[in-house]
Structure 1
């Protein structure tokens, strides 16, 4: 638990004798003049420091290196502390002499003198105990500083045992209640108490102190003279270096007043508990609420709602798109977002990436796909396939005579009486007989064709190709 969280602060003032307690073991001390305390070396959080002030000593668990010493005099000027419910618990067992008890009461009066007292400010109650527990006055009894100090002056010691656990339990169950004047319904009112004891408790304090802290009471413990340090640490709230103090005698207990005044006047209202949904902002000894980025404060001034950042003012040139608690800028079709993430420039659609298999061609604010020669665009308007030609010859050719379809291409041929030249396109007149014939005897060129003849003594048969020997008997007639 951090020091003095709102709603968890409890100063328990226990002035005790504790005749059964053991005095703390002597420890080494540092001699420090009051004017030099700010620069004095400060021990670690678990070390014990003694500061000499005249013939008396004040010791306390100090903060880590660099913490300033809180002890010493100073003016008793009032501070506008955050309103708290403050209960002092005084152990007035018989080991406390009359003069020492008077010093203890002066310490409490000094504490009251330094605070802003009132029904809407700090309220103070007092629990007196020894072997029995007596509530001297409640939080709702006095709202004037003068009457409160007079009531403290009238308190008498009970002069018997040291039932510290019973006193803490009584304070928790009867002094910090709504009936007693505690403002338990408000999370903005801290619960505060101080324990000052010079001995060892005669009952169990560990469990009851833990229950008190868990209920929202933060406990400070001050030991005097023979006080048992282990008991102080069991009672006090952590961290102990901020909640446990020790004074050698009642004669210097008033030196702690400035420490507690500094603590109370330094209360951060936000740290003591608040009702802000998001952010609490300290405002003197009050506070106000704010919201995280992307939210707006509701009319109750406490809760927050999501902000439609695009409805509010934005700096997008084209389109604002809500993005969680913020927004993004986008551009109209055919434009791209510039490096500033706000303005837009007209884009070359093809230059900024496309999915055309062959050729991308800009088209207004977008693009279209085309195919290379010999290919045609598929139905997806992106990929290309080899073009299927029905009659390549009808699409144009360079044959001199005849174009012959050959699937996806063509070949050239020549008319009868001609032969295809080496270029496979042009034709030249040919000798039919030279290029092969079926005449049995003689082939005779006949322009683009040929005719067959027979040698002497033979006649051409009816097939116009073969020859037969003449019948000489009939040839003379």
Structure 2
């Protein structure tokens, strides 16, 4: 409501303007709106007998004289709405600083449009099946899946490096870990991948990835740097060679294997290839049309969670180390054999006895007083006894 009371004119006049637009239940306003007030030129008020010729200024008036309390209403933003109340004109203009209704401040958006994550550094190799069973349109969806995966990763020379191994009856390394260190170049290289011929030599593809893609010469980081090595296998058929021994050797060398089966993929073969626990490393989708849905799952897995933030058994300090953690102790402590608890270093234990000079002076004063008292008691009680003995001996002599 708008209440306006000219000076000295009782009673106040209450104006009830019409609604700017009918409220729409459960519907947000079309734009972020907050009212701003701009004053049109003010015409003088009509002449009133008492007091004569009142005037109104739109500068800030005393609170009792004029109070403007706009009601929170939805506003259409096609054109500013104007309310005319006598000769006082208020223009409500739409300002994009709210979530769609008047008098509601805009909250900062917490939704991130960038789907990338600061993942732990990885040496990541995709091993993709492009045999005859994979139709060209389906292979294009595999490439879209790879491009989406690249978007979710923190790609860089010091972050995640990506390589692709393409296989059918033969194996082709499309590009190595050292070839591309940014997302645009990676996605461009993925778009140029072409399917191969017949056959599904999955075991040979895994062996090639370990011997060629996961080497330091190809861009893999040295073992002392503790960079995780990850292989993601995408296949829709049964392997035509042995995968159990090859996969076991790859896992023993430090490669973590994820197996993605599509359509006619053999679940037993996927389980033989994947790392443990199998429920976290084996995935299956019915068609290539839904393989893109695995992107979010891999994003959660590869981005990882800080184990120190989730929970740990360290007594003092937890240190995150590539999806794992280790414990440290504060200064002056050593880590116990259980690698979790800490003990105080005995050689560094120092005991300092600090004497309060005031207490020392008081103690010395007390000791002096005690000694003086003892001397006085000795002089009073012991010496007379000695004199009595002397007198008795003298008496005996007499």
TM-score normalised by length of structure 2: 0.53
Superposed displacement of residue 130, structure 1: 0.4
Alignment of 1:317-356 (within 5 A): none
Aligned counterpart in structure 1 of residue 348 of structure 2, from 303, 306, 311:
311
Is 1:102 paired with 2:140?
yes
Aligned counterpart in structure 2 of residue 233 of structure 1, from 271, 290, 294:
271
Superposed displacement of residue 193, structure 1: 1.3
Alignment of 1:462-477 (within 5 A): none
- 8 Å contact from structure 1 (residues 213, 237) kept in 2: yes
Partner Cα distance (2:278, 2:151) in 1: 26
Aligned counterpart in structure 2 of residue 150 of structure 1, from 181, 184, 188:
188
Q: Which residue of 2 aligns with 1:222?
A: 260
Aligned counterpart in structure 1 of residue 293 of structure 2, from 212, 237, 255:
255
- 8 Å contact from structure 1 (residues 95, 159) kept in 2: no
Q: 1:233 to 1:262 in 2, by over 3 A?
A: same
- Helix, strand or coil for the counterpart of 1:199? coil
- 8 Å contact from structure 1 (residues 86, 123) kept in 2: yes
Is 1:290 paired with 2:328?
yes
Is 1:170 paired with 2:208?
yes
Partner Cα distance (2:351, 2:291) in 1: 62
Aligned length: 234
Structure 1 residue runs of 4 or more that deviate by more than 2 Å after TM superposition: 184-188, 267-271, 282-289, 291-297, 305-317
Aligned counterpart in structure 1 of residue 232 of structure 2, from 188, 194, 217:
194
Larger-Rg structure: 1
Aligned counterpart in structure 2 of residue 159 of structure 1, from 197, 204, 214:
197
Q: 1:204 to 1:288 in 2, by over 3 A?
A: closer
| Higher helix fraction (1 or 2) | 2
- Helix, strand or coil for the counterpart of 1:201? coil
Q: 1:313 to 1:170 in 2, by over 3 A?
A: same
Is 1:85 paired with 2:123?
yes
Question: Unpaired runs of 5+ in structure 2?
Answer: 1-111, 336-341, 355-398
- Helix, strand or coil for the counterpart of 2:224? coil
TM-score normalised by length of structure 1: 0.45
| Higher strand fraction (1 or 2) | 1
Is 1:128 paired with 2:166?
yes
- Helix, strand or coil for the counterpart of 2:163? strand
- 8 Å contact from structure 1 (residues 191, 217) kept in 2: yes
Which structure is higher in RCO with an 8 Å CA cutoff and minimum separation 6? 1
Q: 1:243 to 1:285 in 2, by over 3 A?
A: closer
